[in-house]
Amino acid sequence: MGVRPGGRRAVMSFLRYRPRLPGGELAPMPWPVSLYRTLNHIAWPLGADSGRCTVFLDRLLIFLGFLVFCEHNEVDFHYLIANRQDMDNLLTGMPTYLILVEMQIRCYQLAWHKDRFRALLQRFYEEIYVSADKEPHLFARIQRQMLATRLNSTVYLLALFNFFLVPVTNVIYHRREMLYKQVYPFDNTQLQYFIPLLGLNFWVGFIITSMLFGELNVMGELMMHLNARYVQLGQDLRRSARRLLERRCTVDIASSYRRTLTEILRRNAALRDFGQRMEEEFSLRIFVMFAFSAGLLCALFFKAFTNPWGNVAYIVWFLAKFMELLALGMLGSILLKTTDDLGMMYYTADWEQVVHQSDNVGDNVKLMRLVSLAIQLNSRPFFITGLNYFRVSLTAVLKIIQGAFSYFTFLNSMR
């Protein structure tokens, strides 16, 4: 039996999970998420029907990747120990070490729960995803909200591009430097060691960079589509009230509105449940991200400030990290504000006009009780947290930036 053209490519694509819409067609993914899926085999899940051999190979590669991360962690830390008396050299290696440790925790925590991540993506595209065909205005609004994350992805790719300059300068100046500041317990400049180690440096760089912008875009997509569904709830509720009021029917208008409100509340509960599943998935990784961010921003800004022309790579990394935090904080604040307004949405949904027009006292009482219940259930807004320690919002991001600037001021005074 012949193999159809592109068969190998289809097999390779099948190995990693590709989301589908309820109709069975492949779900469209923005380019940063597609790149994340392509580059990061550690974090992105396999298809649900992958065979045992495929699963075993995937886990073996994850384990080998973990060993590579541990090896990089060791030699990066040795550089810091060797330069602990020299602040400038110490802070030269500090950013790459911090981002390495952060990504090792985040990436392999996700690798441990890849099946849960796949289930979340499946539910997202089946229940939450807002398609451009059915809701063009909401979809266009989501794309505008996601512009910051797309731009951040581009900046991270520029930061990754800076590492490609190292082999070029090695050839020009006849050097054998690694991509990161590292100290090996043997002579790593020997060619038989240097080339494989440099290749591992590049592999770690691709994994880290794809995780940085890929997970940001995945979280952004999930939050903004969830936010759009909450907005859609209010629109549907107001439309239903207007249609009933325009009919000028006084017999069953209250009971009809109560049935509509009950359906809206069921959808509201489903959205809240999805949000809780999303919180469960990302909470630990968000906590790790924010925990490392202040120190990372401080070290990057110190290197960029003390020698801007000689540390262009640090400037790009600083901008990328700064934009990542601001973008995530902005998206979290949007979702927080929308869900914070839900109680007011139910209160201002023209239920009093329905009660005024209805002649059925019993239905009016039931309707008012249901409205009161809806307001109580939505009295607390939904928000993404870092292990319930902080809310993902611009307020939390500004506090991190303020802390990073305080650390920088202290370090600058010690120069």
Burial class (CB in 10 A: 0-12, 13-18, 19+), 391: middle
Measured distance CA(374)–CA(182) in Å, rounded: 58
Measured distance CA(70)–CA(64) in Å, rounded: 10
Long-range contacts: 327-330, Cβ < 8 Å, 24+?
A: 327/148, 327/149, 327/152, 327/216, 327/220, 328/216, 328/219, 328/220, 328/392, 328/397, 329/392, 329/393, 329/394, 329/395, 329/396, 329/397, 329/398, 330/148, 330/394
Give the model's confidence band at 7: pLDDT under 50 very low, under 70 low, under 90 confident, else very high: very low
φ, ψ at 176 (rounded to 5°) = -135, 70
Please list the residues that pair with 385 across neighbouring strands: 391
Lookup result for tokens 């008012």:
368
Of the listed ranges 228-242, 299-313, 350-364, the least confidently predicted one is: 299-313
pLDDT of residue 310: 66
SS3 380: coil
How large is the average pLDDT for residues 56-83?
95
pLDDT of residue 250: 65
How large is the average pLDDT for residues 141-160?
94
Angle at 267 between CA 332 and CA 258, to 5 degrees: 130
SS3 16: strand
Average pLDDT over the chain reads 89
> Is the CA virtual torsion 272, 215, 7, 55 positive or negative?
negative
The tens digit of pLDDT for each residue in 271-282 reads 999 999 999 999
Of the listed ranges 57-71, 100-114, 254-268, 401-415, the least confidently predicted one is: 401-415
Comparing C-alpha atoms, which of 162, 121, 90, 140 is closest to residue 315? 162
Q: What's at 152, amino acid-wise?
A: N
Is 13 or 146 the better-scoring residue by pLDDT?
A: 146
SS3 273: helix
Of the listed ranges 62-71, 212-221, 400-409, the least confidently predicted one is: 400-409
> Most confidently modeled of 265-274, 348-357, 359-368?
265-274
Of the listed ranges 139-148, 291-300, 313-322, 353-362, the least confidently predicted one is: 353-362
Q: Is the pLDDT of residue 195 over 50?
A: yes
Burial class (CB in 10 A: 0-12, 13-18, 19+), 299: buried
> 119 to each of 19, 113, 270, 281, 286, how far by Cα in Å?
10, 10, 15, 10, 19
- Dmax over CA atoms of the chain, in Å, equals 91
